Amino acid sequence: MSPSASALTLSSPLFTDHGELPQRFTCKGTGVSPPLVWHGAPEGTRGYALIVTDPDAPDPDHPPTHTYIHWVVAYLPASTNHLGEAQSASLPPGSREGVNSTGHTGYTPPCPPAGRHRYIFTLYALDTDRDLTGVNPNRERVLQAIAGHVLAQTQLIGTFRHRR
């Protein structure tokens, strides 16, 4: 990397890294996807993938925890450097949403049953814009498909505690 090159970064204008997610992006609000912005794509980037997970989610079938998948987006065009608020409903042409832990596509808002959970937004810069995932990709299929095609990755972590 040259001295003038920057690393891939991911941020949101509405929450800081490791900061509290605004309520409107959770089950206590409208549950829409938050706005995201990224910079510093490496040379050769032809697309992006975005995966949002909750590694703190309890699952009675797999004690003590499992990773809950909130959003899977494959093949955002290289010309994209942001997603607006609630953009899960209208992604850029060529993008493809995958199946989350609810069994549906789209953004599933955080709604932890107990405690403060971390929501990890991971953005991958890819050297391909070809869809390698097949129909209705899930997190595992996307990660398998992009293996060997990731030029850089970055994360943004938001937190949320659901008080009932």
Each residue of 79-100: pLDDT tens digit?
A: 999 999 999 879 998 888 899 9
Specify if 1 maps to a domain. Answer: no
Specify if 109 maps to a domain. Answer: yes
Does pLDDT of 162 surpass 80? no
Question: What mean pLDDT do residues 129-144 have?
Answer: 80
CATH number, residue 141 = 3.90.280.10
Specify if 61 maps to a domain. Answer: yes
**Which is more confident, 148 or 63?**
148
Q: Which two tokens stand for residue 37?
A: 């912005």
Percent over 90 (pLDDT), the chain: 67
Which residues, including other chains, have CB under 8 Å from residue 64's CB and lie 6 or more apart?
58
Specify if 80 maps to a domain. Answer: yes
Does pLDDT of 4 surpass 50? no
Range of the domain at 84: 9-161
Does pLDDT of 62 surpass 80? no
Q: Record the pTM.
A: 0.91
Considering its fold, how many domains does the chain have in total?
A: 1
Specify if 2 maps to a domain. Answer: no
Q: What is the pLDDT of residue 131?
A: 72
DSSP states along the chain: --TT----EEEBTTB-TTEEPPGGGSTTTT-PPPPEEEE-PPTT--EEEEEEEETT---TTSSS--PEEEEEEEEEETT--EE-TTGGGSPPTT-EE-B-TTSSBS------SSSEEEEEEEEEEES--S--S-SS--HHHHHHHHTTTEEEEEEEEEEEE---
Specify if 4 maps to a domain. Answer: no
Specify if 90 maps to a domain. Answer: yes
